[in-house]
Amino acid sequence: VEAGKLILEEAEFDLRHELEGLVDMFSVQCIDQNVELVLDIS
């Protein structure tokens, strides 16, 4: 950012969808390590 090589822009996204994707991605590792991963969105 300081070197001016990174450009940030605003973009709309579906936070619920992104978080559910992360849970899906980590679920196998959690099962293998006997860890409960809970996503509670209100």
- Sequence-separated contacts (24+) of 14-19 with Cβ below 8 Å: 16/41
Angle at 17 between CA 21 and CA 38, to 5 degrees: 60
18 belongs to a structural domain: yes
2 belongs to a structural domain: no
- Whole-model pTM: value is 0.64
Domain of 21 in residue numbering reads as: 13-42
Going residue by residue through the chain, which has 42 residues, state the pLDDT in tens, using 9 for 90 and above.
Answer: 577 788 889 999 999 999 999 999 999 999 999 999 999 988
Rounded CA-CA distance 39/32 in Å is 18
